[in-house]
Amino acid sequence: MKRVVGTEKKPIKMWLEDIEASALTQARNLANLPFVFKHVALMPDAHCGYGMPIGGVLATHGVVIPNAVGVDIGCGMCAVKTSLKEIDPENLKMILGSEKQGKGIRSRIPVGFKHHERSQDKSFLPDPEPLAQVKNSVAARHLQAATKQIGTLGGGNHFVEIQQGDDGHIWLMVHSGSRNIGLKVAKHYNGLAVKLNHRWHSNVPAKWELAFLPLDSHEGWDYLTEMQYCVDFALANRKLMMQRIQDSICEVMGEVDFAPLINIAHNYAAQEVHFGENVIVHRKGATRARIGELGIIPGSQGSKSYIVTGKGSPESFNSCSHGAGRIMGRKQAQRTLDLETEKKRLDDLGVIHGLRAVRDLDEAASAYKDISTVMENQQDLVDITVELRPLAVMKG
């Protein structure tokens, strides 16, 4: 831990030295909520989000806050160690393939706003039975559309990466979320919370964008039910992509063995026990890091990523960072960064990438914090188990 801000109703415990003013203002709002438990925790990748900083951890009594989970419910990471020890650049290019030629990862996994042209088998979706408990379920209304979204990457900072581990093995990593179904659920319940908070004359200012749903209301439990379905969908989405990445690798490299999947979500709320009390822990861009729990902390495009083991820090509510964290907005990055400089950086590292135009600069490495500093700031939260160097990356 680097700093503690003690000027609000509850302390703000920070695992970073510097934080943008807007993110700190949001953290102060969290610390003054009437139902906040113990303190607010900010991970070393924290930066401004909607209502709550991304990289924030908030525990509450009796309520859940949709905006403290965010719109990409269940977004997270999957990683798999392979039996391969190396892949040369030509084989990497063949594995990535081409969407136009109908080969490789690019032909199997739609990116950005693209979906599958045909519905995927419904068996890939999580069991929808829990949604039957929710009257007029939002997720249930979008299940048919979800059959074309399962196994798709999405845009923004989502990626597929092939990496070289310092354990001598090639690793595969996927970062993606719940696609449109999570967005619909998040927007519906945040909108519902805003209306109800206004009706109740809530003492939480509307401008804080932290409208809540009580757990003793059907709205609160409906949100938790649908949120969990979206978390499960996001995992199913990553699993299907990982299987298709493995298929592409085997087509090029022959028989390859794959270790069990490591999965971790970083946008969700969960009922947990901390400091002896039952609370709802909101992790918005934060990874759970219980004692001995394996986690995944990716760097920015072209920088190292890490498989980590949690230390179970009570002060962080058993959490750590979910990545490097942005230092500039997407539009700012496109306006200020130099395309050729960013391309040369990746080329010099020998990374096969898709950085082609100014619009791609929103995900350039210079738009993010230095991952080595982020890792140094959370040595009390996790131990590094495997360090991963990027070989090829496919961005959303």
Q: Which residues are part of the catalytic machinery?
A: 322
Q: What angle do CA 116, 122, 128 make, to 5 degrees?
A: 120
Q: 59, 282 in Cβ contact below 8 A?
A: yes
* Alpha carbon distance 21, 19 (integer Å): 6
Type of residue at 104:
G
**8 Å CB contact between 268 and 280:** no
Half-sphere exposure of 131 (CA within 13 A, CB side): 21
Question: Going along the chain, which residue ranges are E strands?
Answer: 3-5, 12-14, 36-47, 54-60, 63-64, 76-81, 159-165, 170-176, 213-214, 262-265, 267-274, 277-284, 286-288, 294-297, 305-310, 319-321, 382-395
Distance between CA atoms of 354 and 128, rounded to whole angstroms? 36
